[in-house]
A and B are shown apart, each in its own frame.
Chain A
Amino acid sequence: MIATRLLPLADELRAVVGTDGVLTAHSDLLVYECDGFVIEKNCPDIAVFPRTTEHVQAIVRLANEYDVPFLPRGAGTSLAGGCLPVGGGVMIVLVRMKQILEINLRDRYAVVEPGVVNVWLTQALKGTGYHYAPDPSSQGACTIGGNVATNSGGPHTLKYGVTVNHVLGVEAVMADGSIVEFGGPAEDPAGLDLTGLLVGSEGTLAVVTKAWVRLTRDPQGWRTMLGIFESVADATNAISAIIGAGIVPAALEMMDQGILVAVEAAFHFGFPLDAQAILLIEVDGLEAGLDRQRDRIIALCKENHAREVRLAASAAERQLLWKCRKQAFGAVGRLSPSYCTQDGVVPRTKLPHILARITEIGQKHGIRIVNVFHAGDGNIHPILLFDERDREQIARVLAASGEILDECIACGGSVTGEHGIGVEKIEFMHKLFTPADLDVMGRVRTAFNPHGRLSPAKMLPTAGACGLEQKHPGRRAAL
């Protein structure tokens, strides 16, 4: 039930975006109580669906006038609670701003609204010889606005870079409602690289309403390989060997046996179910150089005791392999009623160590963990399997997650490679950063978001993360 003092705000928002653009009923708002991080949940008081930048501006001004928190949301596929509406308030759902405004092949950029789904852009570019390089596994659902907020990665970012390497500029509605453009289609704009700062700021600095993104030439060819290993250690050693040899594959992904079984049951690719780990390795570029890279990779896999290295025989087989990889998370439903995908990073040579530690930590806490991840970047995604109806299991999952992330830090790594801090990892920030670092981050936030109404209690522990300490499942009351 919406608070009485917010009823006039809802009316004013309806006047801005129309009656079909405002939700206030609790049953409607349940959809917006969380993103892919399901452990913390909270409904916004109002969800509003702007169609234009001017709508966003009016919404932000009204939220300020009524002194309520507000935050942007794309498709809600983020995994760290970045669009959890802490303290309720107004959720600005950007999915109706979904136009691809311009595709300019001569100058190699596109202009998109934030609600454009990642894969739509690549589909729109089909046949042009260009594509949009960042390809998160959720690309069929996630929005480019959300990708900008979280600086999303994806399998092919190993060679091509993450979202920030492909964003030339943004238009943003600032926390005070002003509309500002940073950067644009021309490179090297004067002054500070605030585009680079805004990408990955998890919606805490401004609401991005438009993005200029760089388009990337399609590679002439690919060689896609499947390395099959008898042990996880052999597979991770092969990864270190490939990177250490100075080869930069387009993608280098690992799946362990646990996930392989689920993926095979879902997609029937023909994965060998007795293998302990497989590597999905792709090199791309000029045909003139591909066979040699392929041969070197096969040799390095063999040196590290690969049982077999298969080659994707056709474009269709390559597509199927990538489908298996990108939809692996969906297949996890076959293994367990709930799962928690972690996101950590270690130096690439530490992969054998961290994988062994993940196994130990899972055993210690009695939590089954399967692995599918961006091995070439050292970006691990252990998937912790549990049943969210069991509070005791939740506690063990949280403890195991924490230990894995602490181990990543001990290895010289990070607690997030692409999912973000959100609310999930706030408590790790003081382990990664000094009080001085966090103070400067707080100052940067103050420069953009002086009243803290824009997406409060995210990313920085100093931003008043109270009320988030209890780690319990939101659906507990329903059982």
Chain B
Amino acid sequence: MTVATTPLPLSETFAPPSPSELAELVAEGCRTGMAMYPMGGGTSISNGLVPKRSGWGVSLANLKRTIDYPARDMTITVEAGVTMAALADQLAREGQRLPVDAPQAADATLGGVIATATSGPRRYGCGTIRDYVIGITAIDGRGTLFHGGGRVVKNVAGYDFCKLLTGSRGSLGVIAQVTLKLRPLVETTALVACELTDFDQAETLLAALVRSKTTPAAIELLAGAAWADDPVLGPTSAATKARLVVGLEGTAAEIDWMTSTLAGEWRELGVQKSHTINGAAADRLWSRLVEFPAAGEPPLAIKASVLPSAVTRFVVTALELAPGCSVQSHAGSGIVLVRVGEFTAADALRLLIAGLQPAAVKAGGSASVLSCPAGTELTHQAVWGPVRPEAAVMRAVKQQLDPAGLLNPGLASFDLR
């Protein structure tokens, strides 16, 4: 566990060994009015918001058992503290996977990935974690252990707590156990990359990918220093403004067909040179694409969600507002990650409140801080952007599940206490 840098004001940290003991712990916290901070691997805890209330750390470190893995049903039920890497290893032994990318998978837990709705490049082709959680058990802010969904892949009985808790950032309940639906491992992958000399060309190629005959798993637009010297991507020239990388997954025959088809489609759009990345080099590049938001020291990583057609405009804005930043966009899905190197808290507040957040709203979406070095404190507005009207409904839900406001107080976007 890498929670050493946590900004949370923890009086004590507990790591209960079973869901029922977790429920007892939370109930005990409720009785004493103790604030509680659920913790997985600690990879997403530091986002610039520093809670005021001292409280307990509620660690899932001892909840990582596999409850049931009926591989032929392609589902698995596990405790939420399992790390993404351990889960992936277990699934791979049965030729299966959860196709959701999470940085720092050796530490990041499944529960944490669900609570933060973490995603990565494959979301374009594979969807996000919300598409894979089919059952969930959690402890709400009253110490009540409850569950939603079930263990079958199709189920509409009752309110969908899987969706309610995905992305809830620990504000409604501590996620204890999860049932996932799974996918078969893919046979092989490849990535096709090209250099872009201007951003109009980027939008042309991105728009064309919507009509491509190929079926990309990932569509990544890369810009900035972090991508300048990657030997896998090849050297850049002075004219290089950005790179476009398309990730492909499938059988060898499908990959062969898609790589040549995509190169052909790009040639027709004026791309002189593209190259295909296979094998170990492809694995390395996929890994970089997944790890980008967490890489570097200390990372200030910002995530914007905008309309796909507004991605290039937003990327240009980000490069102008934060010279020296690096950008990765899951461009097919409208997600833009901006990583800023050197900055002060004042720089960060200005960049967010006066820069990236208005730009994201203009681009049809929103922006928030993914991670921020411990020690730098940001404001709620800087981290989450302007509060939207639907936040009132979210607070009403929170009021019902955590009436005393004990779970991650003040940390969720809608929680202004």
Contacts and interface: CB of A to CB of B under 8 A. Distances in A.
B14 to A, nearest CB: 22
Given A200-B156, A349-B70, A440 B251 contact: no
B155 A190 contact: no
Contact of A190 (B172, B207, B210, B385): B385
B183 interface: yes
B21 interface: no
B323 interface: no
A467 interface: no
Interface residues of B, number: 86
Given A191-B390, A347-B152, A429-B158, 10 more contacts: A107-B307, A165-B131, A181-B389, A190-B413, A192-B397, A192-B412, A196-B163, A347-B151, A414-B157, A459-B158
A186 B365 contact: yes
Contacts of A429: 157-158
A185 B305 CA distance: 10
A478 interface: no
Given A288-B256, A345-B152, A448 B393 contact: yes
Interface stretch (B141-149, B190-198, B293-301): B141-149
A191 B164 CA distance: 10
A379 B155 CA distance: 9
A240 B72 contact: yes
A428 B71 CA distance: 28
- What 5 pairs between A and B have smallest CB-CB spacing? A196-B163, A246-B184, A186-B365, A244-B72, A443-B400
A220 B251 CA distance: 16
A187 B156 contact: no
Nearest to A437: B146
Interface of B: 70-75, 95-96, 117, 119, 127-128, 130-131, 140, 144-148, 150-164, 166-168, 171-172, 183-185, 207, 210-211, 213-215, 250-251, 253-254, 256-258, 303, 305-309, 333-335, 363-366, 368, 384-385, 388-391, 393-394, 396-397, 399-401, 412-414
A457 to B, nearest CB: 15
A246 B186 CA distance: 10
A186 B72 CA distance: 35
Interface string A124-144: 000001000000000000000
A425 to B, nearest CB: 7
B388 to A, nearest CB: 7
A194 B395 CA distance: 11
A191 B70 contact: no
A21 interface: no
Contact of A108 (B95, B251, B303, B308): B308
Nearest to B150: A414
Interface stretch (A68-76, A361-369, A415-423): A415-423
Nearest to B182: A246
Nearest to A417: B154
A376 to B, nearest CB: 9
A418 B144 CA distance: 28
26 contacts: A106-B207, A107-B308, A161-B127, A162-B154, A164-B163, A185-B364, A187-B305, A193-B163, A193-B166, A193-B167, A199-B163, A217-B215, A243-B74, A246-B184, A289-B250, A289-B251, A289-B254, A292-B251, A347-B70, A378-B73, A412-B150, A414-B152, A421-B157, A436-B146, A441-B159, A444-B159
